[in-house]
Structure 1
Amino acid sequence: MIDVLNRLVDEIEEHLGDALDIDALAASMGTTGYHARRMFSSLAGMPVSEYVRRRRMTIAASDVIGDEDLLSIAVRFGYGSTEAFGRAFRAVHGASHGDVRRHGGPLRSQPQLRFRLTVEGSSPMHARIVERDAFRLIGHATRVPLIHESVNPHIQQHIASLPAAEHERLKQLSAAEPAGLLQVTADVDPDYSEGSELTYLHGVAVDVSAATPDDLDGIEVDAGEWAVFRTSGPYPASLQSAWSATATEWFPSNPWRLRPGPSIVAVLERSPDFSTATCELWMPVERS
């Protein structure tokens, strides 16, 4: 996977002024656009689209300082107008292209990325592969922004809004693996970008043939294989560390890749104040 990401970076560099088809590029390298985007975002700390914009504006800055008309520069870097180019330029550099042309700065550069795999080997990941028939997730769903670090207050608010009796009711409805109360994220932005919206469902898994109560939301889950990672320790820090480690350690070292589908967290045990917990992270995968 590391080699695929580096080849993707090289392709981006060679076609900075073109519209990039990430799905086609990933397919030509033997993987999927879905998996490539998720791994890129996890390892680079930014979506592919943001990296492309930063690289374009880094290279474009040297042209802006020159005498060439701004529309020609904008078109060369894939923008149809100086206004669209100007918005992207300001977002990256924090100054308008006019100010930079007059004063030579300020400029912020995005170096070309190069991915490397560092194998520590001191902290083995507890993972297993599970094959599941199709099933259904039922519960209470809402749309929330994606937040990579710390507790998501929008999810906290959603869970807190449910009465205690409803949590017990959901537990009684649980009838399939993963068992127990589940934290489900679905419809995630392909770039996995901070602040993008996703569907969060607080609920349980049931058989696909089970009826969904009228007052609950449902998510249909296709049959397939899942990588299941067990974590234990401070919550949510240990869970978030494991999530990151799947991209930095597990996927680059194993013959599996992500496939579209919800990610599921099953809380197996927790302290009364939820400061520590043992969890299972279920991620939909397929052989690479």
Structure 2
Amino acid sequence: MEWLERMNRAMDYIEENLTGEIELSEAARRACCSTYHFQRMFSFITDVTLAEYIRRRRLTLAALELQQGGAAKIIDVALTYGYDSPVSFARAFHALHGMTPAMARQGGMELKAYPRLSFLITIKGAEAMNYRIETKEKFEVFGLERVFRTDGGGEAPQTPARLWEQSHANGEAKRLEERAGGLPSFVSPNLYAVNAVCSYRKTGPDTFPYMLCAFKDEASDTDGYATATIPAHTWAIFPSEPHPWEQFGETIETLYRRFYTEWLPTAGYEQADGIEFEMNGTKDGLNYIELWFAVRKK
């Protein structure tokens, strides 16, 4: 399947460059998606971040090299696998293997090995997925925009979750709600006025835009806010079951994981431009989520 081939091409590139520089933008290019979406997709599918997977693979190969003996110095092995000092290498090595690199040279030591990942077809789908396909004309949103690095670095807030926390704490989310106007007719009346959209414009190979947004209409007060025009698209929309607040994280993670691992590989669609909405609301007195993915037929 094409989706599997793309993901495995990306893994081939990573494996071939474990002893060199890994450009995440190149891995994402081979997977035919943005850097941001490649890392998100990887973590949802594998339950480990891409950075952690690369770290584990490098330390697995470093351990094999040390156990093979020879005259290679520990500093040389450290440099080969991306560590600029014996101290940082020893710290990372001990965290993974439970021993120092020097101890790993001794015979009979028990080390950990993380094999290369490959993406294969698995049998899933016993549990039904609720979704709908809708085509929407272009519309506008406005709100609080930040540009984040895909690795989570940079100035605070460093993650969308942190932006949500800060905006609720300082009242920005409430002020945006008050200036939002009404919900358009093409969205569920269960949704709140303030939601989120990401990857709606290009910002660079290793960054992505994220906006706490409201739909723009004639009654909206957009003064001081960023605005974005969302082009006409076909949307795959995945609603959650109503759930208590303490299950929010688990619920949204399950929706993302099932989209990437069950629906997307087999549905005959691919993501279009990477645009995603995270919609939140209430239904039957409980929390409710809709994930919108811009898609197109292959």
Superimposed CA distance per residue, residues 220-268 of structure 1 (whole angstroms, 9 cap, x where no aligned partner): 2542533322222214244432222111111111233345666323335
Per the TM alignment, residue 176 of structure 1 is displaced from its structure 2 partner at its CA by 7.9
1:32 matched residue in structure 2 = 33
Pick closer, same or farther for the CA change 1:205–1:143 going to 2, 3 Å. Answer: farther
Determine if the alignment matches structure 1 residue 183 to structure 2 residue 195.
yes
Secondary structure of 1:281's aligned partner:
strand
Q: From 165, 168, 184, give the equivalent of 1:159.
A: 168
Give the TM-score of the pair, scaled to structure 1: 0.71
Report percent identity of matched pairs: 22
Determine if the alignment matches structure 1 residue 220 to structure 2 residue 245.
no
Amino acid at match of 1:115: F
Contact (CA 8 Å) 2:236, 2:293: kept in 1 or not?
yes
Write the distance in 2 (CA, Å) between the matches of 1:138 and 1:171. 9
Contact (CA 8 Å) 2:179, 2:221: kept in 1 or not?
no
Pick closer, same or farther for the CA change 1:160–1:20 going to 2, 3 Å. Answer: closer
Pick closer, same or farther for the CA change 1:270–1:162 going to 2, 3 Å. Answer: farther
RMSD across aligned positions (CA): 4.1
Residue correspondences, number: 268
Write the distance in 1 (CA, Å) between the matches of 2:76 and 2:265. 41
Contact (CA 8 Å) 2:197, 2:210: kept in 1 or not?
yes
Superimposed CA distance per residue, residues 9-43 of structure 1 (whole angstroms, 9 cap, x where no aligned partner): 344334321323344355456x2243433322210
Contact (CA 8 Å) 2:18, 2:54: kept in 1 or not?
yes
Structure 1 unmatched ranges of 5 or more = 147-151, 188-196
Pick closer, same or farther for the CA change 1:185–1:230 going to 2, 3 Å. Answer: same
Amino acid at match of 1:212: T
Q: From 274, 277, 290, give the equivalent of 1:264.
A: 277
Write the distance in 1 (CA, Å) between the matches of 2:77 and 2:236. 46
Secondary structure of 2:157's aligned partner:
strand
Give the TM-score of the pair, scaled to structure 2: 0.69
Q: From 131, 145, 149, give the equivalent of 1:126.
A: 131
Contact (CA 8 Å) 1:23, 1:32: kept in 2 or not?
no
* Aligned ranges 1:1-288 → 2 under 5 Å: 1-28=3-30, 31-34=32-35, 35-65=37-67, 66-67=69-70, 68-101=72-105, 107-116=111-120, 117-133=122-138, 135-138=140-143, 143=157, 145=159, 155=164, 158-159=167-168, 162=171, 166=175, 169-172=178-181, 174=183, 178=187, 180-184=192-196, 186=198, 201=212, 203-206=213-216, 212-214=222-224, 217-223=225-231, 225=233, 226-235=235-244, 236=248, 237-258=250-271, 263-272=276-285, 276-286=286-296
Structure 2 unmatched ranges of 5 or more = 147-155, 200-207
Contact (CA 8 Å) 2:168, 2:174: kept in 1 or not?
no
